Amino acid sequence: MERFDPEQALRAIEQHRVTHSLMVPTMFVRMLKLPAAQRERWDVSSLRTVVHAAAPCPMEIKRAMIDWWGPILSEFYSSSELIGATFITTPEWLAHPGSVGRPMLGVPHIVGPDGAELPTGATGQVWFEGGRPFSYLHDPAKTSAAFDARGWATVGDVGHLDEDGYLYLTDRTAFTIIFGGVNIYPQEAENLLVEHPAVLDAAVFGVPHPEMGEQVQAVVQPVDWTTAGPDLAAELDAHCRSRLAAYKCPRSIDFARELPRSETGKLHKRALQEEYRSRR
């Protein structure tokens, strides 16, 4: 397929008896949000392995895909810089829900703001030891900042390791919202919003606040554009507050017909954030 379309993808799986596929979580969301009759009319029993990557997958979305397609989902986490990589199968994920797996390249370390390695379970910046060397084109300062004195490298992700060595990602340091001195990781609210049946896509990011430094802003792409408005915003606010602390929830929810995503499913959140900051 030159472009992804949820029902056409299901049609192609049935027609060509597809056995293996590489997908991104946005594709899962699009397929799950199809009306049940459209989704269930296609035979996907030929699938043996579906690997997903490129973006975080909300836990409830992944559970729904496993319920639908069976224990055939595997996930890998890495970066263009290839400082390290992890991998996880469905049985492993069910035992360690939310994890992106154990390392298959490099050794992950969780590091605090002072550069010291943090204990198991503590959240901090993810660094890898033993990955491949790299440099950013014409940017020696950025290259230098990606490495520490130990030779470990980072791309700015935040997460933790469990006692079995499985890695869990929280967000990226670049998107951390600092609200009155408290760190907020917008991925939590994004995942909750996408899990709501009326939401097709969501972006959560920080915008300036005159007193608190930053506040949480959400932009939502509804499944049905005609539902966009104050009533849906109130429903989504209540949905977030039922699962998250109030300070982590969006202070404002706007609607868009489509969010800026690349052909590979990556959300261009920085562009949205810059657009909103330019309005203030």
Q: Using a cut of 0.85, tell me whether the model's pTM lies above it.
A: yes
- In the predicted model, is pLDDT for residue 14 greater than 80? yes
Report the pLDDT value the prediction gives residue 210, as an integer from 0 to 100. Answer: 85
Q: What end-to-end distance do the CA atoms of the chain give, in Å? A: 41
Cα R_g (the chain), whole angstroms = 20
Averaged pLDDT of the chain: 95
pLDDT digits (tens, 9 = 90+) for 55-99: 889 999 999 999 999 999 999 999 999 999 999 999 999 999 999
In this prediction, residue 51 has a pLDDT band, given cuts at 50, 70 and 90, of very high
Average pLDDT rounded to a whole number, residues 107-133: 96
In this prediction, residue 158 has a pLDDT band, given cuts at 50, 70 and 90, of very high
d(CA 18, CA 34): 20
d(CA 206, CA 35): 33
d(CA 90, CA 66): 8
Domains and CATH numbers, the chain: 176-278 (3.30.300.30)
